[in-house]
Amino acid sequence: MNKLIVVSGATKGIGRAVVEEFLKHGFDAAVCARNQADLNSMKEECLKLFPASTVHIFQADMAIKEEVQHFAHFILSLKRSIDVLVNNAGYFVPGEIATEPEGTLESMMDANLYSAYHLTRGLVAAMVQEKTGHIFNVCSIASIKAYSNGGSYAITKFAMLGLSKCLREELKPHGIRVTAVMPGATKTASWDGVDLPEDRFMSVEDVASLIYACHAISPRSVVEEILIRPQLGDI
C-alpha cells in the first residue's frame, strides 16, 4: 500500500506543488480546501498524472475549528497510517499593526495558526500510536524576520514557528519528526499584481522538492528548519 500524505490548503500554490511532488514518489494524498470545484479539478488532474495513486478530497474552511475537526475525522476514517502531515492552510494580507482593519489578527490566527494546531491535535494521537510520521508546518521568512507591512501575518508566522518547536520536543520520543518550512518570496497568488519579474521569486516546485527531500532522509535524522530564499534576496 502507498504511503499517505495529508495536506491542508492543497489546491493552489505550495500545497498543490507538495501534493504533486509526493504523488510523483508513489504516495496517496488526502487533502482539503475551501472550494469543492477546485478540489474536484485537482483530483481529476492529479489522477491523470499519477494513475497509481489515490487522492481523497474534503471540503473544509480551515479557519473554522469545527471544520478542521471534521477534516481530521475524515482522515481517521480512512484507517490509514498518516506518514506525512503538511499544515499549509493560511493566507496573507499586508498591513500594519496600528492601522490594519479590526479583526485582522483574529482572522489570520484562525487560518494561519489555529488550523495547524487543531488539525495536528486531531491526528497526532494516531501518529503516536504508529510511532512514525513527519509533520511539516509551512511557516514563512516572516517567522524570523519582522518587516514593514507584515502586521498580523508576521505575528501568526512567528507563532507557527513556536508551535513547530514545541511539537518537535513533545513528539521526538515517539519517532515523529517535525520540520518548520520558512520560504521567502514564492510565486503564489499572494503576489498577484506585484510588478516584479517572475525570476525574482522562488517557484513552488522548488519548495515542494525540498520538503520531499527532507522527508526522504533516514528517520534517524531530522531537518528541523528549512530556510529558503530567492537567490537575489528577500523582497
pLDDT surpassing 80 at residue 35: yes
Nearest residue to 11 via CA among 58, 67, 73: 58
Q: What is the DSSP letter of 100?
A: S
- 167-198 pLDDT per residue, tens: 999 999 999 999 999 998 887 766 666 667 77
Contact between residue 163 and residue 113 where contact means Cβ atoms under 8 Å apart: yes
Kindly state the cell numbers that stand for 222: 531530522
Distance separating alpha carbons of residues 145 and 131, to the nearest angstrom:
34
Where exactly are the structural domains of the chain?
4-228
Answer yes or no: is pLDDT of 58 > 80: yes
User: What confidence score (pLDDT) does residue 204 get?
Assistant: 93
Helix H, strand E, coil C: the string for 35-76 is CHHHHHHHHHHHHHHCCCCCEEEEECCCCCHHHHHHHHHHHH
203 HSE (CA, 13 A, CB side)? 5
pTM score over 0.75? yes
pLDDT at 193 (0 to 100)? 63
pLDDT tens sequence across 119-172 = 999 999 999 999 999 999 999 999 999 888 899 999 999 999 999 999 999 999
**For the chain, what is the mean pLDDT?**
94
Rounded Cα–Cα distance for residues 45 and 17 (Å): 13
The answer to whether 42 touches 57, Cβ cutoff 8 Å, is yes
Q: At 13, which amino acid appears?
A: G
Half-sphere exposure of residue 63: CA atoms within 13 angstroms, side-chain side: 13
Strand order in the sheet with 28-33: 55-59, 28-33, 4-7, 84-87, 134-138, 177-183, 225-228
Give the domain 4-228 fold.
Answer: Rossmann fold (3.40.50)
Q: Which string of DSSP letters, residue by residue, matches 103-156?
A: THHHHHIIIIIIHHHHHHHHHHHHHHHHT--EEEEE--GGGT---TT-HHHHHH
Cα-based distances in Å from 52 to 8, 82, 145: 22, 18, 41
